Amino acid sequence: MTSAVVFFVLAVSVGTLALDNGLMRTPPMGWLAWERFRCDIDCDHDPKNCISEKLFMDMADRLAEDGWRELGYEYVNIDDCWSSMERDANGRLQPDPKRFPSGIPHLAQYVHDRGLKLGIYGDLGTHTCGGYPGTTLDKVATDAQTFADWGIDMLKLDGCYSNATEQEQGYPLMSKALNATGRPIGYSCSWPAYQGGLPPKVNYTLLGEICNLWRNYGDIQDSWSSVLSIADWFFDNQDILQPAAGPGRWNDPDMLIIGDFGLSVDQSRSQMALWAIMAAPLFMSNDLRSLDSRSRAVLQNKGVIAINQDPLGVQGRRLIKEQSGVEVFWRPLSSDASALVFFSRREDMPFRYQTSLKKLNYTAGVYQIYDIYQEKALSPIKDVSDFVVSINPSGVVMWYVYPAKKMHRDAMLYGPSLHRHGNRFAPPTHL
């Protein structure tokens, strides 16, 4: 099948309805507390890292002052363990008074004043996964209105301490309740992760109508093996998962762990590239106050972000899985462009992989290539011409691929800055 035919099939598949809040037309981006900071509530002995308003204010400052916000990282997301162990006298959730003494509305205003958005965590069950008050079916409307009153911009609704029947009722109910508040609140559903992630237990058509994004699989851990297991599950099931994604509704393979303790630089580039190919939400879970420069460079790479944020919103696919340990991934992008990722699972040495664009189902023609991580344009390639990429162990080579004829036409329109802006990749104006 030619890439043009595949592109048409994929583009048609994104036409179903999404949650009626107008949000997250491209995958949401931001920072999320869970993987890095978990349920650390010991503010007496670990005040810098405990789940408290100070932690989220610190991360909001970093997003606003260190160039993240301008790249699209706009959400500051609270996860579990933020609340008091008891609801208030009116049956409303309330934050822990010691760790959030100023209250959530104050924190929301602090975040909003910096041009950012605040996300919060809830659980459709008797308790959250950390043992805090959950949102039972009779509390759905109350909690949705509470979040709206507080100025919340996104809700992640987990599924601990609930059953399949309660989830089937509760997740759509919360969607309606959030819409009823009149406040645009992005809605992240963990429903499919609690039902195995696949049909017949999971109805992705319904999910696309009630949720902006959803967790399909287990939590990511701070290790390369965890990244691999998640990527394998998503691409092994791509025929089911890929059609479910599109503007306003995204599969969520969980957080970026780049800048923590478990990944090398090459593995960090691999996670970023694979998540971009998957059109995945990009929620970092790290300590932005002490992030090393190499991790920052990966997370702030404008080319990867532009591919992830492509407005067409088509999730990419794995094309080839070689016995050599090399895998090739492809994602169609706006204006006849595409992204290619060459990934090596090998652990021995850089591997020289030979192929051609024709073998990767590209139509006849000449293509311009931009190497995302080298941040430079390569020589044009004919579809029939073999080429070799050298891929580091557990690393990637990531290309932005564009028809040369169309590129020449756009260069006439947009000028010589089409692909270079200083030392950074500047995507074409139409992306």
Q: Which pLDDT tens digit goes with each residue over 328-378?
A: 999 999 999 999 999 999 999 999 999 999 999 999 999 999 999 999 999
Q: Which pLDDT tens digit goes with each residue over 169-189?
A: 999 999 999 999 999 999 999
Q: Residue 85's closest CA among 103, 74, 73, 98?
A: 98
pLDDT exceeds 50 at position 430? no
Let me know if 209 is exposed, middle or buried by CB neighbors in 10 A (0-12, 13-18, 19+): middle
Give the position of tokens 């090459």: 266
354: its two tokens: 């030979």
Measure the CA–CA gap between 364 and 3, rounded to whole angstroms. Answer: 10
pLDDT exceeds 90 at position 198? yes
pLDDT exceeds 90 at position 401? yes
Local structure of residue 338 (DSSP, 8 states): E
Instruction: Return the ∠ at Cα 312 (arms to 308 and 316), rounded to 5°.
Output: 55
- The mean pLDDT value for 18-30 works out to 88
Instruction: Return the ∠ at Cα 185 (arms to 179 and 190), rounded to 5°.
Output: 95
Measure the CA–CA gap between 108 and 407, rounded to whole angstroms. Answer: 44
Measure the CA–CA gap between 294 and 291, rounded to whole angstroms. Answer: 9
Asked which of 6-10, 149-153, 328-332, 400-404 is least confident by mean pLDDT, the reply is 6-10
Measure the CA–CA gap between 318 and 420, rounded to whole angstroms. Answer: 29
- Contact between 337 and 402 under an 8 Å Cβ cutoff? The reply is yes
**Which residues does 358 contact at the CB level (< 8 Å), separation at least 6?**
364, 383, 384
The H or E element that residue 319 is part of is strand 317-321
196: its two tokens: 């195995």
Give the position of tokens 């999404």: 18
Phi and psi, residue 242, nearest 5°: -60, -45
Per-residue model confidence (pLDDT) at position 266:
98
287: number of Cβ within 10 Å = 18
Per-residue model confidence (pLDDT) at position 405:
81
Query: SS3 of 226, please?
Result: helix
pLDDT exceeds 60 at position 312? yes
DSSP conformation letters of 253-310: ---B-TTSSS--HHHHHHHHHHHHHTT--EEE-S-TTS--HHHHHHHT-HHHHHHHT-
Q: Residue 317's closest CA among 274, 373, 270, 253?
A: 274
Q: Which pLDDT tens digit goes with each residue over 206-234?
A: 999 999 999 999 999 999 999 999 999 99
Measure the CA–CA gap between 316 and 40, rounded to whole angstroms. Answer: 36
DSSP conformation letters of 181-201: TSS--EEEE-GGGGGTTSTTT
Measure the CA–CA gap between 33 and 282, rounded to whole angstroms. Answer: 13
Let me know if 262 is exposed, middle or buried by CB neighbors in 10 A (0-12, 13-18, 19+): middle
Q: How confident is the model at residue 407 (pLDDT cuts 50, 70, 90)?
A: low
Could you give the residue numbers annotated as active site? 158, 219
- The mean pLDDT value for 259-284 works out to 98
Q: How confident is the model at residue 406 (pLDDT cuts 50, 70, 90)?
A: low
The distance of Cα 346 from the centroid of its chain, to the nearest Å, equals 26
DSSP conformation letters of 347-415: SSS-EEEEE-TTTTTPPSSEEEEEETTTTEEEEEEETT--EEEEE-TT-EEEEEEEEHHHHHHHHHHH-
- The mean pLDDT value for 95-100 works out to 98
The H or E element that residue 108 is part of is helix 104-113
pLDDT exceeds 60 at position 92? yes
293: number of Cβ within 10 Å = 6
Per-residue model confidence (pLDDT) at position 20:
74
- The mean pLDDT value for 71-97 works out to 98
Q: How confident is the model at residue 11 (pLDDT cuts 50, 70, 90)?
A: very low
Q: How confident is the model at residue 161 (pLDDT cuts 50, 70, 90)?
A: very high
- Domains within the chain, CATH numbers bracketed: 16-308 (3.20.20.70), 317-425 (2.60.40.1180)
Mean pLDDT score across all residues of the chain? 92
Q: Residue 64's closest CA among 46, 80, 76, 55?
A: 76
